[in-house]
Chains A and B, each alone.
Chain A
Amino acid sequence: MLIEVADLKLSIHANPVLNGVRLTMQEGEIYGLLGPNGAGKSTTLSVLTGLRAADSGKVNVLGLAPMQQKRELHGKLGVLAEDSGFYGWMSAHGYLHWMARLYGRELSAVEMARRLEQVGLNAANRQAIKTYSRGMKQRLGLARALLNDPQLLILDEPTNGLDPRGRREIHDVLLELSREHGVGILLCTHLLDDVDRLCSRIGIINQGKTLLEGVLAELLADKTGANRYRLRVAASSATSGTLPQGVKLLAQEGGWLHLDIAPGVHPDAAWRELFALGWGITEIRSEGGGLEELYLNITETEVVA
């Protein structure tokens, strides 16, 4: 397991900031940590990275205790903190060389070019960092986080300041790292689109407490009715008879058939079987809400409660 956090509690100046955070993350997983401003996401990250000690609870990152085995952990961890700065007088090339040496690594020219290319900074690598846009600094921050070829990458708002193309490029880099190199990625972001595209598991925290944690697809199906669909079928087609296993007809109105697909049944398989039964399906629409609805429901429920 990459991260194991249970019942994490922390007060800062007698003010409880974390009050029962839990988080479990496996190898190669991309985990989205969500929550409103001030929910305790960044504080959780600072505990995970050994920058802050917890008052109580279990914290285990890469099999290490962050506060006690800080140096060892930092050698295996890549972090892009929110609003992390750079030495503006250095160039990206010089800065990455210098940071790599702090990790005990000497980057060859080829290796440096590959790393800069990976984040799309090769063209500007000799410019002083102070001339960089926010998006370029985010890319450089990601390159810095990857310098030690980490087993676990912790990213706080990694696509902040990036244009849509830049965001897509960073998504591709992260997906490649996860799929091809087995790097675990903990993503802390407000951009639900990032989570939707990248994350397999999510955790939602509010007021320092984990409200929900699990596999994204399952949570969406369970909490927002993401397993419900409506189908338009050709008037001449047959829609009576026995339905495939796991498919339930809920209602029929205005030319639409409302169906429920049981968890575990892949919708594509269900459509194929319905076609085989003679259903002339012309249109399929999901009736369930997305991540935004799930997020708003969970955080709103907690505030009301």
Chain B
Amino acid sequence: MNPIILIASKESGELLGSGRGLGWLLALSVILSVLALLLVSNTELSLLDNAQVVYMVMGTITALGGLLALVLGSDAIAGEKERGTLIPLLLTPLTTTQMVLGKMGGQVVAWVLMYALSLPYLWAVGSSGQNLVQAIAYLALFGTPVVLGFGFYAIGLSARFGNVRTALLAALITLMLLASPLLIGPSLRQSTLGKLFDMVNPFSAALNTFDSVVIDSQPFSMQLGRFSVTLIWLALTLWFARRSAQAMEI
């Protein structure tokens, strides 16, 4: 069997077999349930346009996916090191690239599960609108490289720091920085610096695409630039994870 699949199957088994993975899925369900309930029942939020509501849920799912990827990625190598299971792995004929990709395999499973779990919520809030199918497709197309990129990035930090807490802290700071377009006001986003940041930020690329497609009904051909940003993010973080794993100190 391919070593990448072997590592991925171990990662998935560990995630699903332990309370940790199930806890994540439960937490996700609770958050999405509360969000959906607020969007439907809250006086102000229920006045939002249906497309706006779908856009908000898509953004939340992507952010939560990124957060999950950071948590799993931070533990991927540093956690193995702390538990003493890394050295036996490094003493097999496995290459560092195979190990990194195998670890990512576990995260892919987690993201797929999370995506599948979020579909009923998307349907619940978006079934009365016109862009539900696009929302589901674009969440997969743009959310996946952004989320997996966060995973690779956290794996890289995990290998560099060799300590789960430090890696997780650094990864969370990065997530907050990249998610800042959600937090800063429209005037700052319209400044030159804001626009430049928006242009290279994969998280913004995904959110702006969701906005353009779901709210403004733009075609895919107009999203190619943003799609490239997410793919470049994925490639760069994969490169970072590989380099960090190759250079890690035992």
Q: Would B93 and A89 count as touching, CB distance under 8 A?
A: no
Please tell me if A71 contacts chain B, counting CB pairs below 8 Å. yes
- Shortest CB-to-CB span from B194 to chain A, Å, is 42
- The answer to whether A83 has its CB under 8 Å from any CB of chain B is yes
B23 at the interface (CB under 8 A from A): no
Stretch at the interface among B32-40, B84-92, B119-127, B223-231: B84-92
A85 and B3 contact, CB distance less than 8 A: no
Q: Closest chain A residue to B80 by CB distance?
A: A85
Is A102 in contact with B6, judged by CB distance below 8 angstroms? yes
User: Complex formed: what's the CA distance from A239 to B12 in Å?
Assistant: 79
Known contacts A51-B250, A52-B250, A98-B6; is-contact A74 B87 (Cβ 8 Å): no
| Best-buried of B10, B18, B94, B95 by chain A (most CB within 10 Å) | B10
Q: In the assembled complex, how far is the CB of residue B141 from the closest CB belonging to chain A, in whole angstroms?
A: 34
CB distance from A156 to the nearest CB of B (A): 10
> Given A101-B1, A103-B93, does the pair A85, B83 have CB atoms closer than 8 Å?
yes
Contact B1 A99, beta carbon cutoff 8 Å: no
If A87-B10, A102-B6 touch, does A144 touch B17 (CB 8 Å cutoff)? no
Bound together, the chains give a CA A81 to CA B94 distance in angstroms of 17
- Asked whether A87 lies within 8 Å of B14 as measured between CB atoms, the reply is yes
A68 contacts partner chain B, Cβ-Cβ < 8 Å: no
> Within 8 Å CB of B92, what residues of A?
74, 99, 102-103
Is A204 close to B, CB under 8 A? Answer: no
Residue of A nearest to B10 (CB): A98
Chain A, 56-85, CB within 8 A of any chain B CB: 71-72, 74-75, 77, 79, 81, 83-85
Residues of A within 8 A of B87 (CB): 51, 79, 81, 84
Interface size of A in residues (CB-CB distance below 8 Å):
24
Residues of B within 8 A of A85 (CB): 83-85, 88
Most buried by A among B13, B87, B95: B87
Indicate which residue in B6, B90, B95 contacts A101 across the interface (CB closer than 8 Å). Answer: B6
Q: Which residue of A lies closest to B89 (CB)?
A: A102
Counting CB contacts under 8 A, is A86 at the interface? yes
A contact residues around B83 at 8 Å (CB): 85
Cβ–Cβ < 8 Å partners of A99 in chain B: 88, 92
Residues of A within 8 A of B6 (CB): 98, 101-102
Bound Cα distance from A81 to B81, whole angstroms: 13
* A-contact 0/1 string along B84-124, CB 8 Å cutoff: 11011111111100000000000000000000000000000
Q: Which residue of B lies closest to A89 (CB)?
A: B17
Question: Chain B: which residue is nearest A104 at the CB level?
Answer: B93
Instruction: Report the Cα distance A98→B3, complex, angstroms.
Output: 10
A49 part of interface (Cβ distance < 8 Å): yes
Minimum CB–CB distance from A61 to chain B (whole Å) comes to 12
Partner of A102, one of B13, B14, B94, B250: B94
User: What chain B residues lie within 8 Å of A49 (beta carbons)?
Assistant: 91
Scoring A residues 93 to 118 as 1 if CB is less than 8 Å from chain B, else 0, what string do you get? Answer: 00000110111100000000000000
> B interface vs A, CB < 8 Å?
1, 3, 6, 10, 13-14, 17-18, 83-85, 87-95, 249-250
Residues of A within 8 A of B (CB): 46, 49, 51-52, 71-72, 74-75, 77, 79, 81, 83-87, 89, 98-99, 101-104, 144
The 6 closest A-B pairs by CB, nearest first: A85-B84, A85-B85, A102-B92, A71-B93, A51-B250, A75-B93
Task: Sample 28 A-B pairs with CB under 8 A, ordered by A number.
Answer: A46-B250, A52-B249, A52-B250, A71-B93, A77-B91, A79-B87, A79-B88, A81-B91, A85-B83, A85-B84, A85-B85, A85-B88, A86-B85, A86-B88, A87-B10, A87-B14, A89-B14, A89-B18, A98-B6, A98-B10, A99-B88, A99-B92, A101-B6, A102-B92, A102-B93, A102-B94, A103-B93, A144-B88
